[in-house]
Amino acid sequence: MTGIRYSFNSNNRNIEIKRCNNAIHSSKTHFHEEVSIGLIESGSSKTEIEGNIYDLTKNTFLIIPPNISHRCNPENYENWNFKMLYINTEWFKSGFNTNSKDIGFDYMKINEKIFLDVVKLIDDIEKGNDTIENESKLLNYISLLLNNDKLYLDENVSENINSNIRKIKEYVDLNYLEDIRLEDLSNIINISKFYLIRKFNDYYGLSPHQYITNLRINHAKRLLQTNKDFVSVAIESGFYDQSHFIKNFKEYTGVTPMIYKRNI
């Protein structure tokens, strides 16, 4: 499809998605109020950021801070495709506990595996699949574009961080079948979502998303020992559809739910 399309995640109005496929977008110098996260899918452009020229090509992942003037000059509009996420500055701050005015323009080339994963992630966000899994992935990928040493400078965390992380685990243990979001967890102990992911992983060896998924898989295994059908097992175990359930079940157990049920 040729052209430019804007859309919002139906479940999260803090993220606006822009797709540009072989089309002329704004050729004038401009800026955005939001944090801009971009992925170049094909083609190349001489991009001007506050008077500096950067050669950006396929598989480039980039971040542009709010209110930073920039202009793209694609070499060939017939081979110029990119995706942009415009992220509300308050949502960004809740993710990293850093003011968006303190970040700078940056970009990096990513390998094909990460590139394809980011493409799928943006597609999922656009479809409204606003899960803790996708939010965690988005925060982790954005962190690649930031100076990780600075991500914790503004954290006002108590010295009892380990006991606080245990509080998160206790909450998850009681509520893992509910629609848990990173914001719910980070608000329990008042830390940023990115810091929560890192500290939880340090303490338990799993991200919050991975831990929740593991609990749900274990719950599903118990339900598969009953007469419930696969769709019911998926929904009652906290997965948003059967295909999502099957994919995760196989990743965690090595077999599909059908094979597991057949063998028990």
pLDDT of residue 155: 47
Looking at residue 250, which CATH number applies to its domain? Answer: 1.10.10.60
Identify whether residues 209 and 183 lie together within a single domain: yes
CA distance 131 to 124: 9
CA distance 119 to 21: 14
Report the mean per-residue pLDDT for the chain: 87
Domain count for the chain, please give it.
2
pLDDT tens string 77-121: 888 999 999 999 999 988 887 777 778 899 999 999 999 999 999
Between residues 94 and 234, the one the model is more confident about: 234
Q: Would you place residue 14 in the very low, low, confident or very high pLDDT band (cuts 50, 70, 90)?
A: confident
Q: Would you place residue 12 in the very low, low, confident or very high pLDDT band (cuts 50, 70, 90)?
A: confident
pLDDT of residue 23: 66
CA distance 123 to 109: 20
CA distance 36 to 152: 21
Identify whether residues 263 and 206 lie together within a single domain: yes
134 within a domain of the structure (yes/no): yes
pLDDT tens string 26-59: 567 788 889 999 999 999 999 999 889 999 999 9
154 within a domain of the structure (yes/no): no
